[in-house]
Structure 1
Amino acid sequence: MTSVNVLLTIVIGLGGGLMVGCGFVAFLTVLGILPRLMQLTKTMKYIQGYEWAIISGTIVGVWFSLNLVYFPLFPTLIALVGLAHGIFVGMLAAALTEVLNVFPILAKRIGIDDQLAILLMAIVLGKIVGSLFHWMYFTS
């Protein structure tokens, strides 16, 4: 590997890390996720716990993404972990959509504001079909 390739890899890695870091900080600060979570759960006195959870979760997540880690798990447990991940991502997407009022604005712009439930069901069913297709096609 030449020094140009190493330098290019370093620059691309740092650039990608900065982009993801900026997005993560924007997610936490601009949308006010943590203050809202602490307000809803009435846990303002545990702010240092939240900070350490974010820092340690980020470090562990980065470590796992940079290293090939293999956990031998039973298929049933893998299905439960996958279900938990799917629920988390779905709830997060729904919360962000609610905060940003994306669907009402979209429905109003395309002229179907009286059929918002149909739009939401189409999106949900599309996600389900897409996920099933992905899992059936790419894992077989």
Structure 2
Amino acid sequence: MVILAWVVEILLGIAGGIAVGSGVIAFILVLDIVPRLAQLTTSYNKVHWYEGALITGSLFGTISDFWHWEGSFNPIISLIIGAMHGIFIGLLAAALTEVLNVLPILAKRLWMKNYLFGLLMAMVLGKVVGSLFDWYVYRK
């Protein structure tokens, strides 16, 4: 029974990683984050630095989450870091509303037009169930 629980956890982890990774990649590609940043800053020769920063930040965030890294900062530094996180999440939420038109295109290309509502409901229910599990069961 323990092995079955591990298999379920592995499958859920892979599915969650694919869903989150796909969302981040869709966000970056559809909204042309890196080219737009290079255009705004007139630094086309530094595009590789931007891409490297995205990859490094993702890797650092993943590792720090897996290994439960914690830090103790000065309240002013914590305020600045918190403000940066809030700004990023707010901009991400606003930009993802534009990315939602990716779902109808994906459904059309995968011949799932008739199942679009089911696909959307599966995503919503998965998010709700995952959040409830995290809030009420997994929290230590």
Query: TM-score under structure 1 normalisation?
Result: 0.61
Structure 2 Cα separation of the partners of residues 22 and 98 of structure 1: 15
> What is the one-letter code of the residue matched to 2:40?
L
Which has the bigger relative contact order, CA under 8 A and spacing at least 6? Answer: 2
Q: 3-state SS of the aligned residue for 2:31? A: coil
User: Quick check: 1:12 aligned with 2:9?
Assistant: no
Shift of 1:19: 0.4
**Once superposed, what is the RMSD of the aligned Cα atoms?**
2.4
2:130 is aligned to: none
User: What amino acid is the match of 1:40?
Assistant: L
1:39 alignment partner AA: Q
1:119-130 alignment to 2 at 5 Å? none
Q: Secondary structure at the match of 2:68?
A: coil
For 1:69, the aligned partner's letter is: W
How many residue pairs end up in the alignment?
100
Show the counterpart of 1:40: 40
The answer to whether structure 1 residue 87 and structure 2 residue 113 are counterparts is no
Residues 92, 15 of structure 1: CA spacing in aligned structure 2 closer, same or farther, 3 A cutoff? closer
Q: 1:49 is matched with which residue?
A: 49
Task: Measure, in 2, the Cα distance between the counterparts of 1:24 and 1:95.
Answer: 11
Equivalent position SS for 1:64: helix
- CA drift of 1:88 comes to 3.1
Q: Deviations over 1:79-137 (max 9, x none)?
A: 2221222233334445666899xxxxxxxxxxxxxxxxxxxxxxxxxxxxxxxxxxxxx
Percent of aligned positions with the same letter in both sequences? 41
Tell me which structure has the larger Cα radius of gyration. Answer: 1
Q: Equivalents in 1 of 2:9, 2:59: separation in Å? A: 21
Residues 11-63 of structure 1: per-residue CA shift (max 9 Å, x gap): 00000000011001101111111111111111111121112111111100111
Question: Counterparts of 1:29 and 1:78 in 2: how far apart (Å)?
Answer: 31
TM-score by length of 2: 0.61
